Amino acid sequence: MCKASKQRGYEDKLLQEKLRAEREADKNSKDVVKELPKLADSDDLPVYLTRFRQVVVARGIDSQDWASLLVLFLTGSILSKWVELIQTCDANDYELLHDM
Is residue 4 scored above 70 in pLDDT? no
| DSSP code at position 43 | S
Confirm if 81 and 72 have CB atoms less than 8 A apart.
no
The total number of structural domains in the chain stands at 1
Digit-coded pLDDT (tens) for 61-71: 888 888 888 88
Burial of 37 (0-12, 13-18, 19+ CB in 10 A): exposed
Separation of alpha carbons 13 and 18, rounded Å: 9
> What is the pTM (predicted TM-score) of this model?
0.62
Confirm if 29 and 36 have CB atoms less than 8 A apart.
no
The boundaries of the domain holding residue 26 are: 3-99
